[in-house]
Amino acid sequence: MIKPHAADALKPLYVADDAARKKLAAEAAKLPSIVVSSAAAANAVMLGSGYFTPLSGFMNLADALSIARNMHATCGLLWPVPVLNVAPADKLGSVKAGSRVALRDPNVEGNPVIAVQDVKSIETISDEQMEALLQGVFRTNDPKHPGVAAFTSTGRTVLAGPIQVLNYSYFATEFPDTFRTAVQIREEIAKRGWQKVVAFQTRNPMHRAHEELCRMAQEAVNADGILVHMLLGKLKAGDIPADVRDACIRKMVDVYFPPNTVMITGYGFDMLYAGPREAVLHAIFRQNAGATHFIVGRDHAGVGKYYGPFDAQAVFDEIPAGELKIEVFRADHTAYSKKLDKVVMMKDHPDHKPEDYVMLSGTAVRDMLAAGKPLPPEFARPEVGAILMKYYQNEAGA
């Protein structure tokens, strides 16, 4: 099986031994504590799950700035997005460098401890450094960018140091059939006997174009199976909730894919909308999950007009050979061709005009479903459309 990123084995930071975990929880109850940001809690989940192998915890400011500048930590490790625990200075209380602190989950009632951190350093992000981080990661400092807005809302104080993870936040309890760690996915791939696995990232329900793109990639690389890996964390306003997406994807796979060809899984992370940098992050943690190939499509992890349509593919040309083991399948925009009566990649058909495709904007889709109008079968499977219609009509009636 493909090796994890920059390591011979996964390095999940979840304390799996029951006795050790109970002992750590008892210690955590006596430690100073802080309620972390949703982003820091999601980072803890990813560290605990093994997706962020080979990291041992939260980064310091020097590593964050180095990564923003050239996608490499100060030690030379390829990493595209800083993994930080940032908090407001007035929330730290007695926490100082050299101490241990219990990190409390902002997304679960009662704010239970999600991890314990050894605080190696506490640093403050200056205005100049914040600008460098935003431009390096998001390519913009526009406060309307949802990733920028989230990043700048968490404070300026960086707590760096290794962590031990006690639980997977709300992801394991709210999505028990879907949330999987990188360890669990690797175990399932081995159990199925798959050698080549193509991974598909999604924060949306999968329409016909997404479905066919997975088939195209599987056929092109001769993969044994497809890993549909959906984001289960926080999204921007207006995006479809994870439980609705989960239901749509499961129905599509159940009806339209042969048995034992698709693994439906999810991971506990908040969307960054960081375009190219997030595409590289997605590739790294799919490699850690055991996938050999990763689909990167048009405007991958993008939002608005902040990134060019294929910037998220071009960024992989900047990575030195050998630093990533996973192979990227570069996909063009896919849509249903009226001429050919099937979903195609648009780059393969220069003879087509825009009117030769069935394409709907997100606004048009929402308006149709809210009004009780079924989506064209060329755009969405009817079974998927029915689930979405129920959701939008409930929203409209709320």
CATH 3.40.50.620 residue window(s) in the chain:
177-397
Domain covering 177-397, topology: Rossmann fold (3.40.50)
Residues 6+ apart with CB under 8 A from 371: none
Q: Which pLDDT score is estimated for 349? A: 92
Residues 6+ apart with CB under 8 A from 229: 199, 200, 201, 202, 265, 266, 267, 286, 289
Q: Which pLDDT score is estimated for 396? A: 56
Query: Is residue 268 within 8 Å of residue 39, measured between CB atoms?
Result: no
User: Which are the catalytic amino acids?
Assistant: 203-204
Q: Determine the CATH number of domain 18-172.
A: 3.10.400.10
Q: Which pLDDT score is estimated for 240? A: 87
Q: Which pLDDT score is estimated for 28? A: 98
What is the block-wise mean pLDDT of the chain (398 residues), using blocks of 10 residues? 97 98 98 97 98 98 98 98 96 94 98 98 98 98 97 97 98 96 98 97 90 96 97 85 93 95 97 97 98 96 95 97 97 90 90 89 82 90 93 72
**What is this structure's pTM?**
0.95
Q: Which pLDDT score is estimated for 360? A: 81
3-state secondary structure the chain: CCCCCCCCCCCCCECCCHHHHHHHHHHHCCCCEEECCHHHHHHHHHHHHCCCCCCCEECCHHHHHHHHHHCECCCCCECCCCCCCEECHHHCCCCCCCCEEEEECCCCCCCCEEEEEECCEEEECCHHHHHHHHHHHHCCCCCCCHHHHHHHCCCCEEEEEEEEECCCCCHHHHCCCCECCHHHHHHHHHHHCCCCEEEEEECCCCCHHHHHHHHHHHHHHCCCEEEEEEECCCCCCCCCCHHHHHHHHHHHHHHHCCCCCEEEEEECCCCCCCCHHHHHHHHHHHHHCCCCEEEECCCCCCCCCCCCCCHHHHHHHHCCCCCCCCEEEECCCEEEECCCCEEEEHHHCCCCCHHHEECCCHHHHHHHHHCCCCCCCCCCCHHHHHHHHHHHHHHHHC
CATH 3.10.400.10 residue window(s) in the chain:
18-172
Q: Which pLDDT score is estimated for 397? A: 59
